[in-house]
Amino acid sequence: MPTSVPSPDEVTAAQTPGGGWTKKQLAEWGIPWPPPQGWRKHLKAKWEGKDVQPLQRQEPDQDALF
C-alpha cells in the first residue's frame, strides 16, 4: 500500500533516462509489476481525490495460448 499518492509532476519526475519507471518506484506507489495499462491515469485520479478501485494487473487468459 502506498504511503502517499504522487502528483502527476512527481510521476513524470521519477521517470528514468530511458523513459520508464523502476519496479521499486512503482511498488512504492502501490502499482503492480509489470504495470497494467492505465496506471498513470489511476494514480492521477487518486491524487485528485477520486474514489478508484484498486489497480490490479490483468493476467492473460491461459486458454488463449492454445
Task: Report pTM.
Answer: 0.75
- What's the rounded Cα separation, in Å, for the pair 39 and 64? 24
- What's the rounded Cα separation, in Å, for the pair 49 and 53? 12
pLDDT in tens, the chain (66 residues): 445 799 999 999 999 999 999 999 999 999 999 999 999 999 999 999 998 888 776 666 555 555
Q: What is the pLDDT of residue 59?
A: 64
Q: What is the pLDDT of residue 56?
A: 73
- What's the rounded Cα separation, in Å, for the pair 37 and 58? 9
Q: What is the pLDDT of residue 54?
A: 82
Q: What is the pLDDT of residue 4?
A: 78
